[in-house]
Amino acid sequence: MAIATAASPQTTPAGVEFALLQSWLASGNALQLPLHEIECRQQGKGREVQRLLLQAHLQQRGNGDVGPALCLQHQDGELLYSHRRLGTRALTTVFGTVELVRMGYSCPGLPAIFPLDRTLTLPARSFSYELQRRLVKAAVQNPFLDSVQTIADLTGVSVSKRSLEQILPDAAQDFDAFYRQRSPEPATGSILVAAVDCKGIPMVKPPGAQPTSRLTKGQKANKKRMATVATVFTRAPWVRTPQQVVESLFHISRPNPDDAPAPPRPENKRVWASLLKGKNAVIQEVAEEIERRDPSVSKTRVALTDGERALQIRVDQNLKVTLILDLMHALEKLWKAAYIFHAEGSLEAELWVMHRTLRILSGEVGQVVKGLRQSITKRNISGAKRKTLETAADYLYRNRTRMRYNEYLANGWPIASGPVEGACKNLIKDRMERSGMRWTEQMAEAIVQLRAIYLSGDFDQYWTFHIEQDQQRLYPAVWSVVPK
């Protein structure tokens, strides 16, 4: 491989550009400028120095000429790549666009082989892996136009929104493989918690959909597709009394001792979601994640869900856990019932809910249900109000076996799915439901997966894994050099 000889720093393009930058900073014109203008101009000129340094480095790496021919092992025998040709390739990096001169080996009817590309671990796209990493990391946090503008401000490199949209699905393709091979870090908590919920994502209208001049009652401007959201984490027990939970929920101030233990924080929390896989597939992934974290079944396993029957059935069938109804969903039913008897926002309504919440937390779900049904009869409630109360009573009765909150609290188990509710907000709502946003299935799935990696704290590890997998896809074959 030909190696370029080192040139004098003063005669290299980067050295000349750096000298010009130094000269400009010392010039009388620059000495009259305010600091913020100096910063802007110096940054631009400094980027060109960085780009030229990288260009010089690539020239020193040679052109990938490894010999007169390459021999590639193939299922039909050996293939000889004997036709050689030098070519150029432009690559956009975080410092700007550089050019590579590389030797290509070809065989009739087959793609050419460029040894330099493998040596430098180059991607198939014209954007370096590092530039792609920064673009993807920006896109999972902000709208696409904001993301490309942020990268342009930081690096001076302009990337089109369309190019970013093409990068994202490729960047997400190793999501499943990454988590299948990943070993979660050891956790000290004795409770392994899983939670599953659903959250809607606004979708683009299908081709051929006719616009409506006026929406009818209950009609939505854009339909949503439900994504299944999951979270798994480990937690230490937190023993509380029903009274303490009520005081926390209804913000009843009580003097707390200074040495009161803080609530345990989730350990190694992983959140993820899928629009395309469906509930069964995501719940199966939850089961696999639980087994990876607790292969010896030494931890207490619990799962929290809302009251959706189909979801509860799937969790019961696939996860070997104690299924708990999220307390906050039960409270939603109580608040709706309270507004049948008392005005919304009134103190009487809050006291009504607080009293029944304490009874539910104390293991008296059946008594609360009985009271609701007796109220319907004794007060002769009918129509929509009756339906609201019956719905609340039926919901609590159907979930009574998953509402043994007095036992759960005594064991220190969680009774509310705050982590998965937070995941729905952080993972989907905060990114996918901003004003005017509409998604295709492919792009929504890619963003949800990449954002899940980012929020789980796995982004840098995933990107290293993604590069390794991408290189295996690009360069699966092993060749040998044919000697002269």
Structure tokens of 333? 């039913």
Helix (H, G, I), strand (E, B) or coil at 155: helix
Q: What is the pLDDT of residue 435?
A: 85
**Enclosing H/E stretch for 102:** strand 96-107
Nearest 5 degrees, angle CA 299-CA 300-CA 304? 130
> Cα(259)–Cα(294) distance, rounded to whole angstroms?
32
What is the reported pLDDT for 8? 60
Confidence at residue 104, expressed as pLDDT on a 0 to 100 scale: 96
* Prediction pTM value: 0.86
Q: Under a CB-based contact definition with an 8 Å cutoff, are residues 323 and 307 in contact?
A: no
Tokens 């856990």 correspond to: 321
pLDDT in tens, the chain (484 residues): 444 455 565 689 999 999 999 999 999 999 999 999 999 999 999 999 999 999 999 999 999 999 999 999 877 788 999 999 999 999 999 999 999 999 999 999 888 999 999 999 999 999 999 999 999 999 999 999 999 999 999 999 999 999 999 999 999 999 999 999 988 788 889 999 999 988 999 999 876 555 555 555 555 555 899 999 999 999 999 999 999 999 999 988 665 655 567 889 999 999 999 999 989 999 999 999 999 999 999 999 999 998 889 889 999 888 989 999 999 999 999 999 999 999 999 999 999 999 999 999 999 999 999 999 999 999 999 999 999 999 999 999 999 999 999 999 999 999 987 777 787 888 999 999 988 899 999 999 999 999 999 999 999 999 999 999 999 999 988 889 998 6
Residue 260's φ and ψ, nearest 5 degrees, are -65, 135
Longest dimension (CA), the chain: 102
Q: Return the percent helix, strand and coil in the chain, to nearest 5.
A: 50, 20, 30
Whole-angstrom distance, CA of residue 16 vs CA of residue 257: 68
Report the pLDDT value the prediction gives residue 418, as an integer from 0 to 100: 75
Q: Among 471, 472, 462, 477, which Cα is nearest to 123's?
A: 471
pLDDT of 74 reads 78
Q: How high is the pLDDT of residue 1? A: 44
Q: Dihedrals φ, ψ of 135, to 5°? A: -65, -45
Dig out the tokens for 45 from the structure. Answer: 């000129």
pLDDT at 210: 56
The pair phi, psi for residue 110, each rounded to 5°, is: -130, 155
DSSP 439: B
The Cα–Cα gap between 245 and 242 comes to 5
What pLDDT sits at residue 2? 45
Instruction: Report pLDDT for 353.
Output: 97
Q: How far is 286 from 179, CA to CA, in rounded Å?
A: 11
Helix (H, G, I), strand (E, B) or coil at 393: helix
Q: DSSP readout, 263-275?
A: PPPPEEEEEEEES
* Predicted local confidence at residue 76, as pLDDT: 74
Q: For 414, what's the count of Cα atoms within 13 Å in the CB-facing half-sphere?
A: 30
